[in-house]
């Protein structure tokens, strides 16, 4: 074994060869080390970029918006519009199917056109399970049902925006134009029905920005049950044999509003739990009855006769009677006195 410190000439050559190989290996290791560092830097940059990408707000591409200009494209739009999407009209048309929102909410943008939904059976619009139909104007949505209710909302919401007009008509005498249950919230422009104009129950809220018309002989303008509230910004019209407002099972005439009103500018019909407000100004309360002025000459009339409850004070009638008897007695006395004097003169 050669030692580096006292190497003979042969060992010196071997040492030189080994040293050269070691230098080459060291250079290779350094190169690999630098390559590994570059790779680690690239990987770290990619991880940071991906982190920033996924942390940034994501754009939802699934909420597809649809357009419809005729019944066929509208039916397709109802089927394809995503939850939170919008159906924009490109023309006016009549659709004979139902508009049902049971698993998604969406907006119908009328875009200044008229959409008529005229169904032969069932409600023209049906909303349930907390879903929301937003109708955006300007434009008109006419919901018409010939054999069912106009619209039916069961724990859902119907909103009107940007001047949208939403008219509801139910021609069948068995159904209401607007039926809202289980805390539903609905706004419509008008309601016309052969049976009941507006029917709200279970804590629901309905606003009619126009008029309510009930045409049947036994029809009802508005019915509120179980803590519900109905606000009518227009008028209620019912036939003479119909019912203006009904709270629970109690009918109210138009003149049966309560005072004071609980909503300024409206007439209030309520049982303390459910309420119907109809636009109008309550009449002022009647003035208090004036206090009668005592008339001492006419006892027995309001304010006349006795004006004191003190029995020790002579009454007017008692005074008059006393004076009358005094005069009579004085006349009798004078008559007797005159007769006596006349007889004395005769004797003399």
Rounded Cα distance, 336 and 168, in Å: 103
Q: What is the pLDDT of residue 22?
A: 46
pLDDT tens-digit map of 205-214: 999 999 999 9
Q: Where are the alpha helices (DSSP H) in the chain?
A: 9-55, 71-80, 316-347
Checking if the pLDDT of 30 tops 70, the result is: no
Provide the CB-side half-sphere exposure for 246 (13 A, CA): 22
Q: Measured between alpha carbons, how far is residue 131 from residues 107, 154, 184 in Å?
A: 11, 9, 10
Phi-psi region of 217 (alpha: psi -120 to 50; beta: other; left: phi over 0): alpha
13-22, 109-118, 200-209: range with lowest mean pLDDT: 13-22
pLDDT tens-digit map of 143-187: 999 999 999 999 999 999 999 999 999 999 899 999 999 999 999
What DSSP string runs through 211-260?
-EEE-STT-EEEEE-TT-EEEESS-EE--TTSEEEEETTEEE-TT--BSS
Q: What is the pLDDT of residue 326?
A: 76
11-20, 189-198, 261-270: range with lowest mean pLDDT: 11-20
CB 37 within 8 A of CB 29: no
31-35, 98-102, 157-161, 250-254: range with lowest mean pLDDT: 31-35
The CB-based long-range contact list for 46-52 (8 Å cut-off, 24+ gap) reads: none
Q: What is the pLDDT of residue 39?
A: 58
Sign of CA dihedral 257, 261, 267, 273: negative
Q: What is the pLDDT of residue 57?
A: 43
Which residue, chain included where needed, has tokens 């005094």? 326
Q: What is the pLDDT of residue 334?
A: 77
0.75 exceeded by pTM? no
3-state secondary structure of 75: helix
54-58, 72-76, 133-137, 160-164: range with lowest mean pLDDT: 54-58
CB 188 within 8 A of CB 208: yes
Residues in the chain: 348
pLDDT tens-digit map of 236-272: 999 999 999 999 999 999 999 999 999 999 999 999 9
- Which neighbouring-strand residues pair with 242? none
């Amino acid at each position: 074994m050669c030692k580096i410190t006292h190497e003979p000439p042969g060992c010196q050559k071997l040492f030189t060869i080994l040293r050269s190989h070691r230098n080459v290996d060291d250079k290779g290791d350094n190169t690999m080390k630098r390559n590994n560092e570059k790779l680690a830097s690239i990987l770290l940059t990619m991880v940071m970029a991906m982190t920033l990408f996924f942390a940034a707000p994501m754009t939802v591409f699934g909420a597809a918006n649809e357009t419809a200009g005729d019944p066929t494209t509208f039916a397709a739009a109802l089927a394809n519009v995503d939850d939170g999407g919008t159906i924009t009209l490109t023309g006016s048309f009549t659709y004979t199917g139902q508009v049902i929102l049971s698993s998604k909410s969406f907006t119908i943008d009328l875009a200044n056109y008229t959409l008529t939904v005229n169904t032969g059976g069932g409600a023209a619009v049906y909303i349930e399970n907390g879903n929301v139909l937003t109708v955006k104007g300007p434009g008109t949505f006419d919901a018409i049902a010939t054999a069912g209710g106009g619209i039916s909302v069961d724990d859902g919401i119907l909103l009107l925006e940007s001047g949208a007009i939403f008219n509801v008509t139910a021609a069948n005498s068995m159904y209401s134009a607007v039926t809202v249950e289980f805390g539903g919230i609905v706004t419509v422009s008008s309601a016309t029905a052969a049976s009941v104009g507006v029917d709200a129950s279970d804590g629901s809220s309905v606003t009619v920005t126009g008029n309510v018309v009930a045409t049947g002989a036994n029809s009802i303008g508005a019915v509120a049950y179980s803590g519900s509230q109905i606000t009518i910004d227009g008028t209620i019209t019912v036939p003479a044999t119909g019912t203006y407002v009904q709270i629970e099972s109690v009918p109210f005439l138009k003149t049966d509003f309560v005072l004071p009103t609980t909503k300024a500018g409206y007439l209030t019909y309520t049982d303390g739990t459910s309420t119907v407000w109809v636009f109008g100004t309550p009449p002022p309360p009647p003035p208090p009855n004036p206090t009668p002025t005592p008339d001492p000459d006419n006892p027995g009339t309001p304010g006349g006769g006795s004006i004191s409850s003190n029995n020790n004070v002579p009454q007017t009638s008692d005074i008059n009677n006393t004076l009358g008897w005094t005069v009579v007695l004085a006349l009798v006395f004078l008559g007797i006195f005159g007769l006596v004097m006349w007889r004395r003169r005769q004797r003399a």
